[in-house]
A and B are shown apart, each in its own frame.
Chain A
Amino acid sequence: MGVVAASVLIVDDDDGIRTSLRLALEDNGYVVSEAADGEAALGQVKAQPPDVVILDLMLPGMDGFECCRQLRRSSDVPVLIVSARGDSHDVVAGLEAGADDYIRKPFDVPELTARVRALRRRVRTTPEHPGQVRANGIEINPDRGEVTVDGKAVHLTKTEFRLLYELAAHPGRVFSREMLLERVWDYGYFADARIVDVHIGRLRAKIEPDTSNPRHLVTVRGFGYKIDA
């Protein structure tokens, strides 16, 4: 699990779920904190930022979507939303509110820890990922976690950063949604490709001067996405 134990904040109003998750995650070597509602969660993230937030969408008072949006204003901590609704529109809404990934109730503990691990993965410098990257006006420094687009600094969440890095490190190469799901989120063939689409949309909102006519991160119809050299 690494040298430093990863910390997870569980935000759920259901006592049973919070307690059982705490037991399971602690058994898997995580440091766990809990919050029963959105306000408490925001306070905890401010006081002591965790490595990953596990956020239930159905919360009393401030709901999960709002909590996620407010969290995003001050933090780039990875957020894994837990959806109990059958309606898949909720998933998209949650991702658009700034979540990094989602998982459906009921889930297996191995499934959950795999998701948490994938969210904690950082860009590592390997021969394939040679450190600093420049492509099409985008400059990424993975060691310092800095991104500039046309000379202007841009603030990205960890997942957005990884996604942009993946694309920019291979200028001109087209990535299918499945490839990006595997490389950034550690998913297999059957994952929900909307995760990629929503993140691409968020990324464009941050790096493109005109999102309806993207210059940096372009769509290759029928294939996927790419960043030119």
Chain B
Amino acid sequence: MIGRRLRLGLTLRLTLTFAVGALLLSTAVALGSYVFTATFLVHEQERTALHQTYLNAAIVRGRLLGPQADVPGILDALTTGSSTNTIIYNDGRWYSSSLLVSRDALPATVRRTTLSGSVVRTWTRIGHSPELIIGVPLPAADSAYFQAFDESSLRHTLFVLQSVLLAAASAATAAGAGIGWWASRRLTAPLRAVAAAARRLAAGNLDTSLPEESDRELTGLVESFNTMVATLRERIQRDARFAADVSHELRSPLTTLTTSLSVLQGRRDELSDRARAALDLLGTELARFERLVEDLLEISRADTNASDQEREPVRVGELVLNVLEQQRYADISADLDSSALEAVVAGDKRRLQQVLSNLLDNAAAYAGGATQVSARATDRTVTVFVDDAGPGVATEERQLVFDRFARGRNATRRGSQAGSGLGLALVAEHVRAHGGRVWVTDAPTGGARFAVELPRSST
């Protein structure tokens, strides 16, 4: 959980960092470009306009000072662009090349300043259009010449420039975020691989290892992780092997013991009463000891992952009925519906049999024996229930009973029936190895109900 939060945080942080960096950088570049370009364009425009106005003003002055000065004729003769309007003040009267842009279009300060003898250059607004107005006094002719430039196209150019720069800045920010995300994924990929491997390891898969890493900075991490796994595996397997070796070494003397015991049992009649009682005790305890050795061996085999499991199609119903056929389970009723009888699982028959007989023996040891075995199937699973009429299992002990050598509070030993203490742990191990689950609840008739759910095989 902590690993996950850290991973998300790192990715998010890196992504944000890259995005913010890209945003700042691209905004600065865009803003700079805009200011520089706009200033340059406006300046150029003003210079051109001024130049043109001076030229025209010179022509106007010449004409006005010449004979037969006809102001409207002068206006018509001037060459200006279509977006430029000219206004002439002469002898107290105003002449305009356009009806729209006349004397009133000129700001009062412009008129005053020009007429008082200064060149004026100013920006104003006529209708919706930005206008550059330049006024040139012509004192020799007692006149003034004004030219108004419609700069809508300049405004449009600047608007397009703005849009392009804004789009570029946004794209750069998004790209920054993308690169940040990608980089963080790249950066955290080894972390995620380690986390996933650790999870597999925790789930009991001791064959877990990380693939060789070419990145020099990560080689250390990968190597130490793999070394840790190897050490862990070795230690676990050594422990399990030790248990297996001990049980294994016990098998030969156990064989001698059980065989000799059977010789004695065959000659019971030759013994005294006291010797017979001792012999019976010996038989009971030897059987229990044998069981313990077998269970220890079995469970250490599960621990070392020695998967000698024979997987074959097993009909669960058939298996249940075959187990119940044994003499010691004669009092147990079976309730299998037709779907459960048909259900097939891919399993190890011997281990599945052990699951059921361990549950039955557990019921015999602690609950006065199982009363009923039932089985139900769904499309995907088949579940076997073992009910008993005992005191049941307390809620807080329902997990613990599957632990090794766990003895519940109510689990008083009942004579010779007591098991190895590994029976239910083995049930849990075997069921887990089959991809199923086992749990305990209350039986409908009182007592405990152990349930084993196994996945059905597809065939």
Which chain A residues have a beta carbon within 8 Å of chain B's beta carbons? 14, 16-17, 19-21, 23-24, 27-28, 84-89, 105-110, 188-190, 192-194, 222
Complex Cα spacing A108 to B258, Å: 7
Contact across chains for A16 and B253 when beta carbons are under 8 A apart: yes
Contact of A86 among B254, B263, B297 (CB under 8 A): B297
Contacts of B253 in A (CB 8 A): 16
Contact across chains for B256 and A16 when beta carbons are under 8 A apart: yes
- Given A190-B322, A190-B349, A190-B350, answer yes or no on A20-B266 (Cβ-Cβ < 8 Å): no
User: Of all chain B residues, which has the CB nearest A58?
Assistant: B252
Pick out which of these stretches binds chain A: B4-12, B144-152, B304-312, B419-427: B304-312
User: Of all chain B residues, which has the CB nearest A85?
Assistant: B248
Complex Cα spacing A141 to B397, Å: 65
Contact across chains for B266 and A189 when beta carbons are under 8 A apart: no
The 4 closest A-B pairs by CB, nearest first: A16-B256, A20-B259, A109-B262, A189-B322
Interface check B260, CB cutoff 8 A: yes
**A1 vs chain B, min Cβ distance (A):** 14
**A13 vs chain B, min Cβ distance (A):** 10
**A110 vs chain B, min Cβ distance (A):** 8
- Given A84-B251, A86-B248, answer yes or no on A109-B350 (Cβ-Cβ < 8 Å): no
Inter-chain pairs besides A24-B266, A108-B262, A109-B263, 18 sampled, C-beta below 8 Å: A16-B253, A16-B256, A17-B252, A20-B260, A24-B259, A27-B263, A27-B266, A86-B244, A86-B248, A86-B297, A87-B308, A88-B308, A89-B308, A106-B251, A107-B255, A108-B258, A109-B259, A193-B310
Complex Cα spacing A126 to B262, Å: 36
Contacts of B262 in A (CB 8 A): 24, 108-110
Interface SS of chain B: helix, strand, loop or mixed?
helix
**B313 vs chain A, min Cβ distance (A):** 8
Contacts of A21 in B (CB 8 A): 259
Contact of A105 among B255, B310, B319 (CB under 8 A): B255
Contact across chains for B263 and A20 when beta carbons are under 8 A apart: yes
Q: Can you spell out 23 A-B residue pairs with CB atoms less than 8 angstroms apart?
A: A16-B256, A17-B252, A17-B259, A20-B256, A23-B259, A23-B260, A23-B263, A24-B260, A27-B267, A84-B251, A84-B252, A85-B248, A86-B297, A86-B301, A88-B310, A89-B308, A105-B251, A106-B293, A109-B259, A190-B349, A192-B350, A194-B310, A222-B313
Contact across chains for A188 and B266 when beta carbons are under 8 A apart: no
Contacts of B295 in A (CB 8 A): none
Interface check B290, CB cutoff 8 A: yes
Contacts of A20 in B (CB 8 A): 255-256, 259-260, 263
Contacts of B188 in A (CB 8 A): none
Question: Which of B256, B259, B301 has the most CB atoms of chain A within a 10 A radius of its CB?
Answer: B259
Contact across chains for B353 and A106 when beta carbons are under 8 A apart: no
**B310 vs chain A, min Cβ distance (A):** 7
User: Of all chain A residues, which has the CB nearest B247?
Assistant: A86
**B253 vs chain A, min Cβ distance (A):** 7
Complex Cα spacing A20 to B258, Å: 9
